[in-house]
A and B are shown apart, each in its own frame.
Chain A
Amino acid sequence: MPDLIPLVSAVLIAAGAVFFIAGTVGLLRFPDTYCRLHALTKADGLGLALIALGIALTASSFGEVFRIALIWFFVAVASATGGHLIATYARRVDRAEGKEGS
């Protein structure tokens, strides 16, 4: 059992990294702001959650787990808010420039 924990943790972190890479590719390759935002927030939210979980498994105390959870929570809230703000702004600019808002 103790041998399993590092392995699981490594797999989780690797999976998280894959999501980050996917998000980054999406950010670079998708055509407009909204799609990019979608790729970024979705992939990063999940990627960070997986990495946080992976690290939490190796944590030595409950306090550390709690702090990792807090970090994940606040990053999630912040990225959701940031995504919302960027989307609102992008739509306003699009409308100002006469394009169809999506």
Chain B
Amino acid sequence: MTPDLIYGLTGIAVFAIGLVGALCAQDRLRRVLALKLCSVGAGFVLVVAAWRSPPADPDPVPHALVITGIVVMVSATAVALALIRRLQTLEAEDDDD
């Protein structure tokens, strides 16, 4: 049992949970949440891949990649949420008519 093994499997599990959510969730917000879980899962795998048993330093390249992935994901999330807000508003306006 080493941390990389534990967290690597955690990452894969989180990715799979997100995948189920993204495929099954009906609520629009929850689908965004599920996708975000997937991205954290992928981040886990990259961070684990970079890990070297101490005292060796981890590989910095995957760390940079995960940071990039996090920023990309927040951008995508923001756009998806803006679409949700817009769509909900349009639907609510239609209901009023």
A–B contact with Cβ pairs below 8 Å: the answer is no
